[in-house]
Amino acid sequence: MCGRFALTAPASTITEIFQIDVLPEILPRYNIAPTQDVHCVVEEGGERRVQPFKWGLIPSWAKDRKIGYKTINARSETAAGKPAFRAAFRRRRVLVLADGFYEWKRQGKQKLPWLMQVDGGRPYGMAGLWETWIDPDTLEEVRSCSILTCGPNELMAPIHDRMPVILPAETWDTWLDPNVQDTALLQEMMQPFPAERMSARRVGSWVNNARNTGPACQAPPEGEEDP
């Protein structure tokens, strides 16, 4: 799964990599947690834009927003057929921006946090789905998203049995294009990212608490038992 990640790169790096002309203010965040706002690349009117979405997809038919706690992730193998995700899989896809994600490896009775990065810490796009939901009480429009997951690559396998779908740059145009609705073609993209382009290292338990958000979340463990 993907339950916590980071986006700390400067705006200039994000605009260059994702070819975005206008970028909203994005402050460095080292411990992004479910139900918080996340920044995503979305294609609208033939242009890429970065917009905030609530992390935890709320289907348009949901009675309340609580379902979002259960839909932070969508299994890529089955999302195209699930009621909560199938319409979004065909027409509403995003790249969830990140430059690192965390996973917890079970070690005896402990769960120890690891930080995974791509290409030495460069920003990347995780495959995501989005929906619009109208709060029936306030009529507030809520845009929310889910991160697709797949089986692990060789790097992730010893740590966890799932990982986010990280899309290579050459697939971004197809993934973001709402006119592409060939689910078989889209399903082919749901592959583990090449392990040789990733790194993994242990970090301290500071990241365990979602209220802790600073650079210390990525600091090495001090005085903690290594796996």
Q: Is residue 171 part of a domain?
A: yes
- Say which residues have a Cβ less than 8 Å from residue 157's Cβ, sequence separation at least 6: none
The kind and range of the H/E element at 179 are none
Tell me the pLDDT band of 222, cut-offs 50, 70 and 90. confident
- Which residues are part of the catalytic machinery? 2, 103
Q: For residue 78, is pLDDT > 70?
A: yes
Q: How many domains does the chain have?
A: 1
Would you say residue 214 has pLDDT above 60? yes
Instruction: Examine residue 227 and state whether it is found in any structural domain, yes or no.
Output: no
- For 95-123, how does the pLDDT look when each residue is reduced to its tens digit (9 = 90+)? 999 999 999 999 888 999 999 999 999 99
Confidence class for position 1, pLDDT limits 50, 70, 90: confident
| Burial of 219 (C-beta count, 10 Å sphere; 0-12/13-18/19+) | middle
For 44-75, what is each residue's pLDDT tens digit?
A: 888 999 999 999 999 999 998 999 999 999 99
For residue 223, is it left (φ>0), alpha (ψ between -120 and 50) or beta? left
Tell me the backbone φ, ψ of residue 25, rounded to 5 degrees: -65, 125
Residue 224 included in any domain: no
Main-chain phi, psi angles of 80, to 5 degrees: -65, -20
105 neighbors 160 (Cβ within 8 angstroms): yes
Beta bridge partners of 75: 149
- 223 domain-assigned: no
What the block records as the tokens of 200 is 């993994």
Mean pLDDT over each residue of the chain, to the nearest integer: 94
| Dihedral in degrees, nearest 10, Cα atoms 158, 164, 169, 174 | 140
The CATH number of the domain holding residue 13 is 3.90.1680.10
Answer yes or no: is 42 within a domain: yes
pLDDT in tens, 144-187: 999 999 999 999 999 999 999 999 999 999 999 999 999 999 99
The pLDDT, as a whole number, for residue 107 is 86
Quick one: pLDDT at residue 225? 53
**Would you state the structure tokens that stand for residue 147, as one six-digit string?**
């991160």
E strand intervals along 11-46: 29-32, 37-44
Asked if 86 and 71 count as a contact pair (C-beta separation under 8 A), the reply is no
**Cut 0.85: pTM above it:** yes
Residue 88 located in a structural domain? yes
* Per-residue pLDDT at 227 exceeds 70: no
**So what's the pLDDT on residue 18?**
96
Q: With cut-offs at 50, 70 and 90, classify the pLDDT of residue 203.
A: very high
Range of the domain at 71: 5-218
pLDDT of residue 134: 95
In angstroms, rounded to a whole number, what is the distance separating the alpha carbons of residues 6 and 68? 20
